[in-house]
Structure 1
Amino acid sequence: MAVRVALSGVLGVLLLAVLLVDDRVRGWEAVLASHVVALVARTETAVNSVMAILSFNEETGGAVGLQISPECTSGFLIVPLLGVTILILWLSRRAGVWPLVALAVAVAVLFASNQVRILAVVVLIKGLGFEPGYYWGHTMVGSVISVFGIGAALVAYTLLTMRGVRR
């Protein structure tokens, strides 16, 4: 019982932290994206973690900056998962470690899919130019990547959590 209460408290503090300092989460995502983009898209990148801006060079030589806005971060997507995990730990006597494993896997999938989405935006801007590249990368391809990433995270979370609850 004491372990469940302590874990619930820690996750509650984490939930509040994500809500209160989402700018730092977005800054961390921008820093991570700068490394992913530099490695995969083979371009020079720069980052302003305070403003959550990733900059890179277009094929034309001009620099482009993408800001990770509150709507485009994975930070808020983990809030419901944290809340559900707190409830599972609080209410279930047999939850064990599986809800925490499920949470870790789901959060990793959400952040990874958002990195793929940012990479898609960069690659399409570099290939098509800013206007069409941003439209296709952010609105069309990026939305599909987000939907699949969120779906995969939820499926993984549900399966792993149910595995722990059933035992």
Structure 2
Amino acid sequence: MARFPLVVALSALAAAGAVVVLAERFYRELEVRLAGAILDLFTTSGVYVAPDRESVYFGLTSAAPFGLRMTPECSSAFLLLPLLVVTMAMVYFRPSNARRLFFSLGISALVVVLVNQLRILTIVGLVHWFGTDEGYYWGHTLLGSMVSVFGGAVSIVLFVWLSTRKKTA
């Protein structure tokens, strides 16, 4: 890769990282909207999204409506940063693999976002099954955290596998 395209690729990755950090609240609003759309597919008890509060409410017609607020720690935004940094390093040292690295980054970033949505669905399901206190505890503190850690590990392994595998003949 010539010098100019390398600089452009690295600058684009750095800019993406900066956007994730600087527009983190907007990103959380998008995540909450996505969570609301997904929940609306699975529930008949009503869903309301308040993107300005980064919150999604569900079970609105049930006896125990509940809301989840997505804080910065609960967002997948900062899970994308390590993928961007690793991609930058790999593009810098192997610029000829840039196309494959960007593809790997895209797939892995999608996995991170979907895993975070799965985490939200896990919390919602457990709150529905076990009630507010116990369901939220198990969903957010234990099982939800396990989903995030496992999903983050899967996305990194997937990134490395996609970006370093040999081409088939």
* Correspondent of 2:69 among 64, 67, 74: 67
Q: Which amino acid aligns with 2:161?
A: L
**Corresponding residue number in structure 2 for 1:106:** 108
Give the 4+ runs in structure 1 shifted more than 6 A. none
Backbone CA RMSD of aligned residues: 1.8
Determine the C-alpha separation between the residues in 2 that align with 1:160 and 1:61: 47
Determine the C-alpha separation between the residues in 2 that align with 1:154 and 1:103: 9
Identical aligned residues as a percent: 30
Over residues 132-160 of structure 1, what are the superposed CA-to-partner deviations in whole Å (9 max), with x where a residue is unaligned? 11011111211221122111101101111
Determine the C-alpha separation between the residues in 1 that align with 2:52 and 2:82: 25
The TM-score, its normalising length taken from structure 2, stands at 0.90
Would you say the 8 A contact 1:74–1:111 is kept in 2?
yes
- Unmatched tracts of structure 2, length 5 or more: none
Secondary structure at the aligned position of 2:53 is classed as coil
How many residues are aligned here? Answer: 165
Structure of higher RCO (CA pairs closer than 8 Å, 6+ residues apart): 1
Would you say the 8 A contact 1:44–1:56 is kept in 2?
yes
Over residues 37-64 of structure 1, what are the superposed CA-to-partner deviations in whole Å (9 max), with x where a residue is unaligned? 1112343111111221011116743421
- Unmatched tracts of structure 1, length 5 or more: none
Determine the C-alpha separation between the residues in 2 that align with 1:57 and 1:47: 12
Would you say the 8 A contact 1:47–1:55 is kept in 2?
yes
The TM-score, its normalising length taken from structure 1, stands at 0.91
Q: CA deviation at 1:127?
A: 1.6
